[in-house]
A and B are shown apart, each in its own frame.
Chain A
Amino acid sequence: MHMEFIKIENLFFRYGEEDEKPNTNENYVLEDLSLSIEKGDFVAIVGHNGSGKSTVAKHLNAMLIPSMGKVYIDGMDTADEALSYEIRRKVGLVLQNPDNQLVAGIVEEDVAFGPENLGIPPKEIRERVDEALKAVDMYEYRLKAPHKLSGGQKQRVAIAGIIAMKPDCIVLDEPTAMLDPKGRQEVLDTVHKLNRENGITVVMITHYMEEAVTADKVFVVDSGRLLTSGTPQEVFSQVELLKRHRLDVPQATELCHKLRACGVEIDRLPLFEDECCALLKEVLA
């Protein structure tokens, strides 16, 4: 049988469960969530602020443990504390604020932080650091101090710090939320390149639908439940459903959807701008 790399089964989660007297009135942040991700995939998890998507991210590397249900990473149960080190080695997590995840005062030393924790021999760390910095196009900044870099550059350094640990998968928790459009594009391109060239499984958590359309598969999370999932085409053609849950769709999709509602005959909903242009030309002709 084909084995999924990440498998979430009926995940329930609420905060405070690990306390001695759990507060049973606390609402579940995640309710009955199931999804699976295969090796090499580029997956986007989209949802509102407070929909629980970041909580999902923290379950993927055993930072949070399910209240009920199971999360398996490459067959390992995240609830088993003895495995959490091994799981974090396989799944790297990049957080939202690049400023708060860089540890060292020099770029290359920060990238070396992960491999140093793994106890890798110095010579190999050097190789991994150089490789990782080249992969994110930050090699020439290796001796700079992080605070002199732009937001997008800092986030790329954070990504390099994760890939220097050679994980099978990287989970990015809204990595572009604090960046300007240029930085956002840099990070997005870098992540796509890593997925394409290094075969790293990518789980991108985002609320920008324009970022989600570039994924292989999209999961939509709303109020802790899985609303819908599928290819971007499948997901974003359900414009009514998404709108009902106050979620956006890409502009191109929305335009064609509105035209369709006005009676213009459009057979399919586009995701990208150029796709939309071609489609409209066809209709006008």
Chain B
Amino acid sequence: MRDVTLGQYFPCDSVLHRLDPRLKIVSLIAFIALTFCTFNYASLGIVCAMVIAAVLLSRVPFKMYLKSLKVIIIIVVITSLLNLFYGQGEPIFEWWIFKVTWAGIHNAVFVCVRIVCLILFSSVLTFTTSPNDLTDALERLMKPLTIFHIKVHEIAMMMTIALRFVPTLLEETDKIMAAQKARGADMESGSLISRVKALIPVLVPLFVSSFRRAYELAVAMECRCYQGGKGRTRMKQLKLMKRDYISMAVSLLAIAGVVLCNIFLLSVR
């Protein structure tokens, strides 16, 4: 249990790992939007090329990506089938209540490719960015929201502390379970309901100790002069490097490409 890694971060030294996390988050949002703005095969091709490039550049084993795709495979199949059979226009094939049209085929392809791209883009982000970097980048990106009285620093602090304490609490759960088992608790057999009930003697002490931990942590933070986000500086300064500008340029080119294809080439539907 001590080796739990949060999220799906895959430590490895690649260009994508070293990119500024803020840039990665913004690019992810841009690419997701872009994926749904593809109206013909040329623009879809550009997005696919970007996904493939990102997956290859991340140097994360392809197996990992397949694993994250496996989760959504059913959704992909069902939505593709629905689109396939409910297209408008001249049927090219008909059987019982099913009729397949060219529009249906196009729709199915687009939906399928879009969802796969969406998942792959997000996986690239979570595989190449550690949770700590992610929270850090989110805090910096959301900083402008402070004018709407959103407590950005406090939210980021909570995320940081939550990330820090997940392994600690998992370890504690292990210990409590062992302690309850030593006292004769039966957690592995019986019906689902009785097994859930058996978790109560684990969760109650875990809750109590979490509150104690929270109190002690608050004392420790106060001892270290913590006064909220005001007047606080950060050790790590994020600075855009050459590689960040290059990746930004490539992304902008891709966006421009998709927009141009949409304007000058015929839309499929």
Contacts and interface: CB of A to CB of B under 8 A. Distances in A.
Main secondary structure of the interface of A (DSSP, over half): helix
A115 interface: yes
Contacts of B222: 63, 88
A18 to B, nearest CB: 15
B183 interface: no
Contacts of A89: 225
Interface residues of B, number: 30
B235 A117 contact: no
B171 A147 contact: yes
Contact of B224 (A108, A119, A146, A165): A165
Contacts of B2: 147-148
A129 interface: yes
Contacts of A85: 225, 227
Main secondary structure of the interface of B (DSSP, over half): helix
B216 A97 contact: yes
Contact of A109 (B132, B216, B220): B132
Interface string A110-132: 00111111111110011001000
B219 A117 contact: no
Nearest to A120: B233
Contact of B219 (A63, A146, A147, A161): A63
Interface stretch (A4-12, A37-45, A98-106, A244-252): A98-106
Interface stretch (B57-65, B81-89, B140-148, B157-165): B157-165
Given A101-B223, A105-B163, 13 more contacts: A61-B223, A95-B219, A100-B213, A100-B220, A104-B160, A109-B235, A113-B221, A114-B225, A116-B234, A118-B225, A125-B233, A145-B167, A162-B224
Interface of B: 2, 131-132, 160-161, 163-164, 167-168, 171, 212-213, 216-217, 219-227, 231-237
